[in-house]
DNA sequence: GAGATATATATTGTGACGCTATGCATTGGG
DNA sequence: CCCAATGCATAGCGTCACAATATATATCTC
């Protein structure tokens, strides 16, 4: 499966990270691999993209994090806060609203919900 | 209905213009208003956004255009070419592929196709 | 018929943001 | 013992949508 154009991903990357964290706390590298799998090898979020997002989430108070070095290899674990869960719901709602909007705009093409197939 | 975040629109604006033109040739201002209506007053594409896109479409050979001044008010009409229709199909396909991908990523939220409601 | 508003196209400046490149450090396999 | 994979992080760059602005005509209101 081909990769999705970067321009399309813009705006939904943060949502994807939040959603991935809704399955339990994770560290950066794990978020990357989880996203890669849940998207069926489509979303390959680069480190240079992911970490600035995580830092923003932390700054906004949407995730709380703590370092762990027990295994020798240091890891920074991220976990959704209550505000983060609220934010996730908000962004997910907007996303589906956007999809519905595009569905209407693309209606003349006769592309009737290809994703329900 | 609130407006969609600009960051989300990024990447799909060109697709929306192509789709709007699939309903027959139109001039800039008409594209704006058609899009406004087909999106149920959600997509308000600004002139500063639309015209650069139209110029790109023309440059790529996806639309052919001609000036008309019969009515006194000059208008530049845009019409999809064969290559443009092909491009439209290609971009629409990618869009739905993207939506399907996000659906999987957001699956853990239990948001089962809110748009099919 | 004067002024306001809607129509109509176009350019420029700016800021947001994802990507590439780079750097540093640890761990495990060949 | 080297190299790939793991793991976090920042700097610089390019793209691109939007705000602001400019120009001009048509229509509506009073």
CATH number of the structural domain spanning residue B19? 1.10.10.10
Say if B55 falls within a structural domain.
Answer: yes
For residues B18, B33, B116 and B10, what is the CA-based torsion angle, rounded to 10 degrees? Answer: 50
Say if A57 falls within a structural domain.
Answer: yes
Which phi and psi angles does B106 have, rounded to 5°? -90, -5
Say if A1 falls within a structural domain.
Answer: no
The tens digit of pLDDT for each residue in A13-67 reads 999 999 999 999 999 999 999 999 999 989 999 999 999 999 999 999 999 999 8
Say if B115 falls within a structural domain.
Answer: no
Q: In the structure, what pLDDT confidence band is assigned to residue A109 with cuts at 50, 70 and 90? A: confident
Say if B113 falls within a structural domain.
Answer: no
Say if B112 falls within a structural domain.
Answer: no
Say if A113 falls within a structural domain.
Answer: no
What domain range includes position A28?
Answer: 10-106
Is residue B62 pLDDT above 80, yes or no? yes
Which nucleotide lies nearest residue A9, CA to C1'?
C18
Cα–Cα nearest to A1, from B108, B98, B106, B91: B98
In B50-109, the residues whose Cβ lies within 8 Å of chain A are 88-89, 92-109
CA of B78, C1' of D18: distance in angstroms: 23
Which region, left, alpha or beta, applies to residue A38 given φ > 0 means left and ψ of -120 to 50 means alpha? alpha
Q: Which residue has the tokens 């208008």?
A: B75
Q: Structurally, how many domains does chain B consist of?
A: 1
């Amino acid at each position: 499966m081909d990769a999705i154009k970067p321009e399309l991903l813009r705006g939904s990357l943060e949502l994807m990270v939040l959603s991935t964290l809704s399955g339990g706390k994770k560290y950066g590298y794990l978020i990357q691999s989880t996203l890669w799998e849940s998207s069926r090898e489509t979303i390959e979020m680069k480190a240079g993209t992911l970490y600035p997002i995580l830092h923003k989430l932390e700054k906004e108070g949407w995730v709380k994090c703590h370092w762990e070095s027990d295994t020798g290899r240091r890891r920074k674990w991220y976990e959704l806060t209550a505000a983060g869960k609220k934010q996730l719901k908000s962004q997910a709602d907007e996303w589906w609203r956007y999809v519905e909007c595009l569905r209407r705009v693309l209606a003349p093409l006769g592309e009737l919900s290809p994703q329900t197939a």
